[in-house]
A and B are shown apart, each in its own frame.
Chain A
Amino acid sequence: MSEYGMLIDYEYCTGCRTCEVSCKQEYQRPAGRVGGVEVTEYTHTLPNGKLFITNIPHFTRACVFCAGRVKKGLDPACVKHCMARILTYGKVEELVKMLPAKRKAMIWTKGSS
């Protein structure tokens, strides 16, 4: 059985939080309530003294990976609108092949159901 998931090429995530609002629009979730995705920003001073900002989108328990959209052959709302195009939804085995070679990235699995 194929498991689906989200490839997050987060080194290019600029922290614009378009994913958050695209999700809220898609499901008409009111402000103040959890949406399907949230972005967290980290500012680190690396061992060489260089400042480095990392943004990580994470998919909450409220995320259904846009099952309805996907069924219609559409991308999840966040994947479609991501300004930096860092999100790819698909079969985990396919996503693994797409992992970028030269930078950190992650795959967020949906879990089979």
Chain B
Amino acid sequence: MRSDGVEIIKTTTWSPGPGCHGGCGILVHVKNDKVIKVEGDPDHPWNQGRLCSRCLSMTQYMYHKDRLTRPLKRVGERGEGKFEEISWDEALDLIETRMKQIREDHGPESVIFHQGTGRDIGGWISMLAYAYGSPNWMFGLSGVSCYTPRLMMMSITQGDFAVVDASQWHEKRYDDPEYEIPETVTIWGQNLPATCPDGFFGHWYVDLMKRGTQLLVIDPRCTWIASRAKLWLQLRPGTDAALGLGFIHVMIREDLINTSFVEKWTNAPFLVRVDSTPHTLLRESDIDPTGSDENFIAWNPDTGSAMVWDVDAQLYKDSSTLPSLEGEFDVRLADGSIISAKTVWTLYKENAAGYTPQVVSKITWVPEEKIVEGARMYAQSSPSALHWGLPIDTIPSTIPTSQALNHLWVLTGNLDNPGGNAIARYAYDVVTYPYHSGGAVLSLPPETAEKRIGMHDYGPIRDFRAWAQPDKMLEQIFSKDPYEIKGMWIQTANPLACTGMEPQKWHKAIKKLDFTVCVDLFMTPTAMLCDVILPAASFLEKDSLKAWWVPLNAIKKVTQVGECRSDIEINLELCKRFMKDFPYQNTQELFDRLLSSAGLTYDELCDNTWMMPPEGHPSKPYFRYEKGLLRQDGRPGFRTPSGKIELFSSWLEKWELEPLPYHEEPPYSPVSTPDLFKKYPLILCTGRRMGPYYHSEHRQIPWLREQQKDPVLEIHPDTAQKYGISHGEPVCVENWLGKITVKALVTPVIHPDIVMAEHGWWFPEKEGKEPCLFGVWDVNVNQLIPMSHEGKGGLGAPIKSMLCKVYKPKG
């Protein structure tokens, strides 16, 4: 403690608070048990002393007059805004009684556990859902359109996730001798300085620019970072797959492929049956009745016959010959018949052949010469890294789009190399927030797990991530088919203002349920509808830990506000009530268990605050596929069914989806719905980031709100003039689903045929009770976006590519 009575505590940011995905090291100044200041920690490698405005506003956030500090119980009608304060014991008893009653009458699957974006919640809400017995842990964004599609596609392509290597694995960062500055970073659909998404610190790109990295930016808007790019491609929203395939076309045509990498590490030489559709990978069992259906087939050019890729041995059986990379061959099947098969690489080239710059330019609006220039810039740079954003998830064609983009770093060999796309795992393999199935604190018996909503509709929902499919869930609330939904536990989420498309439907659905609980820090439009509201602690008021991706961080409780409790403590207490023999008595025991893979206790982690995985650990780059650090069996290769990077995806084949990438038009567009386009002649894009706010949060924080008072619609000057709209004046945005009125921001940064609306808006200062609900219906752009338009595979939704018209409000 200092002589002035101020104690300075080192900790790490996450939620609740700045709202973001966290990771910054901070120094918290505490006096008389009150936080008086928050500063960046210069010793933390993540932010190196910096800190954004949301975190610097923490004192206004924590001690806000509207902060919920005691549990509330609804006493009036739903939405009437009548609540009374109750004690924690009363609140927990009430929740326990009501939820156990639902479980008894309707089964545990009839309660949904609804979380929001990547906050400090995934581990704890899944724990609660499973302790209660429900498989319906859910993130509410239509098509699970936030990182999950990209994570899924990366997982099935190379068995692991990969992110841009901005030196975040090194304590010395850019100065580490092992690190290389990327020659080019391609930023595909993200305004990085305005956001810190998906375990990434946006301003690392400014650090890299200063060190010589050049940028290729792909965005319908000219963001600040796009204006600094060597090349900026302004594409039509939702056509990213076509552009990616255009790049691949040029790279193949101009011989810019890293062929030795592709030949050695991908399934490019594997044979695919082309005698029937759909095309399928040939298996050993196809040619040999005693062969395994997990082994694949390639062509031996020496013997002129098939050779078998043994997935267990990770070798070709009985052969040291390199298989043919290209060609079409006659293969004798087990029944004696002869069929025609092509290598994956031959099919891959045929698939890309159709995406000429001319074709792609027509689809994407990007000029032909710029497509060629972009492909060359990406492929000829070394190292070259590709950063992609949420727009890759928020389109129904997210699966082929993510696949095409993932292939770019595979085709150039920019995988797990310094300054390329490094494989990202949880530091020390400590799973605090499971991104895919498995890794949860508890598990469910198979007969309950089988009841998860959407898993029988979609392969990726079944096999990749243990979330219920939100579009199917919302439908089921109304259809009651195959079972009734009776309750919802909402934590770190605000579906009425933010995650819910067609929010009126969510409004109706939530009001229809027998029992709803909301855990939050402030009253929100969603909380207003709930039966019990529990006051959550901010990240400065709780103990936790974070491993997304590196380093492994401790989050330490520095003070207490009101009677607020952490999401973890709340859930742990209820777990004990819902589950007989719940194995953890307190958070310390739970954290110690989670940290066992690192050989640490929580106290030891707290002593260090943060820890970087050491050299040679599977969670530390580089070139782990060569060193045998990625696979369980220790062999070189990848964690995929074949052990190779699967350009032709065996998982997609299994799910009856196209195994190779392709372009698919957005469901509403000038091309797919030309008649609708006549009536609604502008492309409505939403969800661009706002510096002071994270999604629907922070509108009540004075230092942040003064930066932007009202929601805006970005509109090009020519378009504004055409429709008689003036800068700063109200503008109506309308389509067949709904209408909002916001302020016009007339700016040339947006394409004349596109308008960009902000998401997540509501007004904490307005009346909370119905019908006003903090003014959410006036401004929530999700009212113009439908539910139940999820892409094939249950992933992706048309959030970035709707149609609308704009006009000046009458009167």
Contacts and interface: CB of A to CB of B under 8 A. Distances in A.
A30 B51 CA distance: 20
B42 to A, nearest CB: 8
B49 A80 contact: yes
A82 B379 CA distance: 33
Interface string A22-41: 10111000111000000000
A70 interface: no
Nearest to B747: A43
A25 B37 contact: yes
Interface residues of B, number: 37
Given A18-B53, A21-B703, A85-B50, A53 B194 contact: no
Contact of A25 (B38, B222, B227): B38
B694 to A, nearest CB: 13
Given A31-B702, A31-B705, A84-B203, A17 B224 contact: no
Nearest to A100: B210
Interface string A43-70: 1010000111101000000000000000
Given A12-B209, A53-B222, A81-B40, A18 B59 contact: no
Contacts of A22: 51, 53, 56
Contacts of B225: 14
Given A14-B225, A17-B691, A32-B706, A80 B748 contact: no
A16 interface: yes
A16 B47 CA distance: 15
Contacts of B193: 14-16, 83-84
A30 B691 contact: no
B53 A16 contact: yes
A18 B52 contact: yes
B52 A51 contact: no
A81 to B, nearest CB: 5
B206 A84 contact: yes
Interface in B698-735: 702-707
B749 interface: yes
Contacts of A14: 193-194, 203, 206, 224-225
Contacts of B194: 14, 16
Interface residues of A, number: 28
A83 B201 CA distance: 10
A16 B691 contact: yes
A53 B749 CA distance: 9
Given A16-B194, A25-B37, A43-B747, A53 B56 contact: no
Q: Max chain B CB contacts within 10 Å: which of A15, A52, A81?
A: A81
A25 B702 contact: no
Contacts of A17: 53, 691-692, 707
Interface in B603-658: none
Contacts of B223: 53
A51 B39 contact: no
Interface string A71-111: 00000000011111100000000000000000000000000
Interface in B29-78: 37-40, 49-53, 56-57, 59
A80 B39 contact: yes
Interface centre among A20, A52, A83 (most CB of B within 10 A): A83
Given A17-B707, A52-B227, A80 B40 contact: yes
Contacts of B705: 31
A53 B691 contact: no
Contacts of B692: 17
Given A16-B52, A84-B206, A31 B748 contact: no
Given A15-B224, A22-B56, A83-B52, A43 B748 contact: yes
Interface string B577-620: 00000000000000000000000000000000000000000000
Contacts of B704: 21
Contacts of B50: 18, 80-83, 85
A81 B56 contact: yes
B196 to A, nearest CB: 10
Contacts of A51: 222, 226-227, 748-749
Contacts of A20: 53, 703, 707
Interface in B177-225: 193-194, 202-203, 206-207, 209-210, 222-225
B749 A21 contact: no
Interface string B90-129: 0000000000000000000000000000000000000000
6 contacts: A16-B194, A17-B53, A17-B691, A32-B706, A51-B227, A84-B206
Given A51-B749, A80-B40, 4 more contacts: A18-B56, A20-B53, A30-B702, A55-B224
Going nearest first, the 9 A-B pairs with the smallest beta carbon separation are: A31-B702, A14-B193, A21-B53, A31-B706, A51-B222, A83-B203, A53-B227, A21-B56, A84-B206
